Structure 1
Amino acid sequence: MEVKDFKVSISPREAAEVLEKHMDEDVLGEILDAYELQTEQVEVVMRLFEKYYMRSSNRATLTFLASNLDGVTHVHLAAGGGGQGMIFRFDWGAGEDFVELAEDALRQYMLE
């Protein structure tokens, strides 16, 4: 499982839209689920993507979670499910690749 956390200069919803467009046009990742929670001050956005990786002969999932609870948009990416078999969870780098594809889509908005 691969996990990344970083901050971006756009809203959680905008970050989700950038990622959705990138997944749809460039990565061929399919969106499986979407969830949003918004109040006057706080926004939380979740997306669940799936992509088939030939190198692992399996599908990998990517969970995107963005929130602005403290006024800055935090992005959390977690990939999993790309391993082969019931015992071995080795995914031949599929999880790391999926996270990097999402990170690349948001790179121009990253802070720090």
Structure 2
Amino acid sequence: MAKYEKCVHGDFNKILEQLDEDIFKSGLSIELVDKSNYEDENVKMAVRVYDKYFMRNSSRASLNVTVIDSGRGVFISAIGAGGGNSAIFNFSLGAESELTEVVANSVRRMGLKSE
């Protein structure tokens, strides 16, 4: 498992759109498995679950991205999991880290200021 988290200032919708675009650009075999959105008068939240096939070890890994706008800032959490190709050992050759790094790079390229 690999995790990336960051609190930033920026437009929730633009951040979500850019993350989605950058994640899809990261590989042909990545797909959006499902998504969930929630909004009330004070909070916006989006959850995205992606799946990617890795040819190098014939496995799949998932990327879960959560973006929350509390009105004071935007919290971004990316968790990569899976990627192992064995029933006993979870040896993924870095598949989870590769997926979370896509999110980290996207946030860096957006130039968002940290909280």
TM-score of the two chains, using structure 2 as the length reference = 0.86
Q: Give the Å deviation of 1:14.
A: 2.6
Q: How many residues in Structure 1 have an aligned counterpart in Structure 2?
A: 112
State the match for 2:27 in structure 1.
Answer: 27
**Any gaps of 5 or more consecutive residues in structure 2?**
none
Q: Return the alpha-carbon distance in structure 2 between the equivalents of residues 30 and 38 of structure 1.
A: 24
Q: Give the Å deviation of 1:47.
A: 0.5
**Distance change >3 Å, CA 16–CA 3, structure 1 → 2:** same
Q: Superposition pairs for residues 16-55 of structure 1, below 5 Å?
A: 16-28=16-28, 29-55=30-56
**Any gaps of 5 or more consecutive residues in structure 1?**
none
What amino acid sits opposite 1:111 in the alignment? S
Residues 67 and 74 of structure 2 are in contact (CA less than 8 Å); yes or no, is this contact kept in structure 1? yes
**Cα RMSD (Å):** 1.7
Q: Return the alpha-carbon distance in structure 2 between the equivalents of residues 9 and 23 of structure 1.
A: 20
State the match for 1:91 in structure 2.
Answer: 92
Structure showing the higher strand proportion among its residues: 2
Residues 42 and 71 of structure 2 are in contact (CA less than 8 Å); yes or no, is this contact kept in structure 1? no
State the match for 1:63 in structure 2.
Answer: 64
Q: Return the alpha-carbon distance in structure 2 between the equivalents of residues 74 and 68 of structure 1.
A: 6
Note if 1:9 corresponds to 2:12. no
What amino acid sits opposite 1:109 in the alignment? L
State the match for 2:114 in structure 1.
Answer: 111
